[in-house]
C-alpha cells in the first residue's frame, strides 16, 4: 500500500482498522471496507477516466 501513488486517504490505517474491528463488530468492518472500495472506484474514475467502472460498481453493489 505504501507504494501506491493514488489511494484512498489514510488507506493503510483504515484497512487495519476495518479488519481489527471485525472481531468486535463485523458489520462495522464490512461498512468500512465498502467505503474504501467505493472510494477506490471514484479514484479510478477520476485518474483513469478512460476506464469504465460501471459494470464493476454494479457487480460490487449487488446484494449477496
**What's the domain range around 45?**
11-61
| Domain count along the chain | 1
The pLDDT of residue 64 is: 63
Q: 49: which 3 cell numbers?
A: 477516466
**For the segment 6-16, what is each residue's pLDDT rounded down to a tens digit?**
999 999 999 99
Structural contact between residues 17 and 10, judged by C-beta atoms closer than 8 angstroms: no
With a cut of 80, say whether residue 56 has pLDDT above it.
yes
**For the segment 20-49, what is each residue's pLDDT rounded down to a tens digit?**
998 899 999 999 999 999 999 999 999 998
The pTM score is: 0.85
Sequence-ordered alpha helix ranges (H) in 1-64 = 11-20, 26-47, 54-61
Residue 25 lies in a domain: yes
Residue 17 lies in a domain: yes
Amino acid at each position: 500500500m505504501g507504494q501506491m501513488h493514488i489511494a484512498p486517504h489514510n488507506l493503510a490505517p483504515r484497512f487495519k482498522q476495518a479488519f481489527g474491528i471485525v472481531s468486535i463488530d463485523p458489520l462495522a468492518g464490512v461498512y468500512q471496507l465498502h467505503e474504501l472500495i467505493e472510494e477506490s472506484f471514484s479514484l479510478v474514475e477520476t485518474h483513469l477516466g478512460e476506464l469504465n467502472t460501471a459494470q464493476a460498481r454494479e457487480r460490487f453493489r449487488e446484494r449477496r
